[in-house]
Amino acid sequence: SERSFIMIKPDGVQRNLVSEIIGRFERRGYKLCGLKMVQPTRQLAESHYADLSERPFFGDLCTFLSSSPVVAMVWAGADVVKQGRTMIGATDPLKSAPGTIRGDLALVTGKNVIHGSDSCENAEKEIALWFKDGEVCNYEQVTAPWIYE
Ligand code: GTP
Ligand code: MG
């Protein structure tokens, strides 16, 4: 099934928002397929945000992402890439609707708590960047018949 790379950024970990954020994906019905805590190297941060390398905030963004541990995750399920982005909200938390993760938990773009892949293609690229073979689990969710029709 469809997969997304979801990451709780350093601010989310420091602010003790890990269970709050994981709980939202669990309660929605998504399946957790990979999870690890890691302090990214600057090189990993730069690879993750390579598409933004020409932007003026790229240096600060990579410094921030590699400044403290993150929680890197793989979530699977129906339309998880797009639905995950909807659950996360807009890049600028002040433009994020209440009920979204950023709309409920963040105030500024540079401290917006969470990352979510923006396409299925990028999700698979990001999963391959952050996880080794064997670190992502493929298993049957026993609750699936009660979540899907
Ligand atoms: P991610 O899920 O983290 O990829 O955020 P996004 O997809 O909502 O936004 P985007 O990929 O365009 O930018 C990645 C991250 O760079 C954002 O989450 C912000 O933290 C940061 N960022 C984006 N735009 C700006 C900006 O205009 N100024 C600053 N300071 N940071 C920005
Ligand atoms: Mg993005």
Which ligand 1 atom sits nearest the alpha carbon of residue 118? 7
In a domain, 138, yes or no: no
**How many domains is the chain built from?**
1
- For residue 144, being part of any structural domain is answered with no
91-106 pLDDT, tens per residue?
999 999 999 999 999 9
Which of 91, 92, 129 for a ligand 1 pocket mutation test, highest count of atoms within 8 Å of Cβ?
91
Closest ligand relative to 9 C-alpha: 1
Establish if 29 belongs to a structural domain.
yes
Tens digit of pLDDT at every position of the chain (149 positions):
999 999 999 999 999 999 999 999 999 999 999 999 999 999 999 999 999 999 999 999 999 999 999 999 999 999 999 999 999 999 999 999 999 999 999 999 999 999 999 999 999 999 999 999 999 999 999 999 999 99
Residue identifier of the C-alpha nearest atom 31 of ligand 1: 110
Catalytic site residue 48?
no
Instruction: State whether residue 38 is helix, strand or coil.
Output: strand
Tokens at 32, concatenated: 């957790």
ipTM of the complex: 0.96
**What is 2-36 written as a DSSP string?**
-EEEEEE-HHHHHTT-HHHHHHHHHHHTPEEEEEE
* 107 part of a folded domain: yes
Catalytic residue among 3, 31, 48, 115: 115
Q: Which atom of ligand 1 is nearest to the CA of 116?
A: 2
The CATH number covering residue 120 comes to 3.30.70.141
What lies within 8 Å, CB to CB, of 105 at 6+ separation is 12, 15, 17, 20, 21, 93, 113
Rounded CA-CA distance 6/113 in Å is 11
- On whether residue 147 sits in a domain, the answer given is no
Position 142 in a domain? no
Any domain includes 49: yes
Amino acid at 14: Q
Domain limits at 61?
3-130
Q: Is residue 67 part of a domain?
A: yes
